Amino acid sequence: MISAETTLTVQFYDLDPMQVVWHGNYARFLEQARCALLDKIGYNYQEMDQSGYMWPIVDMRLKYVRPARFGQELRVTATLREYENRLRIEYRVHDKASGETLTKAETIQVAVRADTLELCLECPPALTDRIRALL
């Protein structure tokens, strides 16, 4: 499948009072990797909008394995696992230096027609054609 990764450094504003990354900030980290993946496919938010579809996240799961701390460099990988009826993207957050897994995650997005707000049971060709061209 198709994967993309991004790197980031944990900032002070990412931390909670216990001096580890606050759990809610991981969604932002995943978003950065998801955008890198969608850029690689050629179907990021601008292309989604132009194609007439919205792609809400309908499910997000996170498994915190180890905490991330201030100044730590992270490598966040997003891998497309399904694309025919929905977008299922798997994520891994690793410590950049050691490669140790810190977080595992998954999101599911569905296509919704922007004009009617109708849920699509299949992903539109605007996405699937781009993915198949890369496989």
Report percent pLDDT > 90 for the chain: 99
pLDDT in tens, 15-48: 999 999 999 999 999 999 999 999 999 999 999 9
Q: 3-class DSSP state for residue 16?
A: coil
pLDDT digits (tens, 9 = 90+) for 40-97: 999 999 999 999 999 999 999 999 999 999 999 999 999 999 999 999 999 999 999 9
Domain residues for 84?
A: 3-134
Q: What is the pLDDT of residues 94-131, one digit of tens each?
A: 999 999 999 999 999 999 999 999 999 999 999 999 99
Q: How many structural domains compose the chain?
A: 1
We report the CATH number of the domain holding residue 30 as: 3.10.129.10
Q: Can you tell me whether residue 132 is helix, strand or coil?
A: helix
Q: How far is 27 from 125, CA to CA, in rounded Å?
A: 28
For the chain, the residue count is 135
pLDDT digits (tens, 9 = 90+) for 40-51: 999 999 999 999
